């Protein structure tokens, strides 16, 4: 009997740069700012 690790290789897709009118890759600094709690709410 084979294990799942023997059936499939590790998935390691390349990092993609999205350039278009839709979703974009934001800078890590932007992700950090968005994840902070709001002040004065």
Q: What would the pLDDT profile of 11-34 be if each residue is shown by its tens digit?
A: 888 887 767 777 777 888 988 898
Confidence band of 2 (pLDDT split at 50, 70, 90): low
Q: Which domain holds residue 13?
A: 4-35
Number of domains in the chain: 1
Q: What is the DSSP letter of 10?
A: P
Please check whether residue 41 lies inside any domain of the structure: no
Check residue 37 and give left, alpha or beta (phi > 0: left; psi -120 to 50: alpha): beta
Residue 25 maps to a domain = yes
Q: Is residue 22 part of a domain?
A: yes
**Confidence (pTM):** 0.37
19: in domain: yes
Three-state SS letters, the chain? CCCHHHHCCCCCCCCCCCCCCCCCCCCHHHHHHHHCCCCCC
Q: Give the pair of three-digit tokens for residue 13.
A: 């897709």
Q: Is residue 13 part of a domain?
A: yes
40 is a domain residue: no
């Amino acid at each position: 009997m084979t294990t799942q690790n023997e059936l499939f290789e590790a998935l390691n897709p390349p990092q993609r740069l999205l350039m278009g009118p839709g979703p974009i890759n934001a800078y890590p600094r932007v992700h950090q700012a968005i994840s902070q709690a709001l002040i004065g709410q």
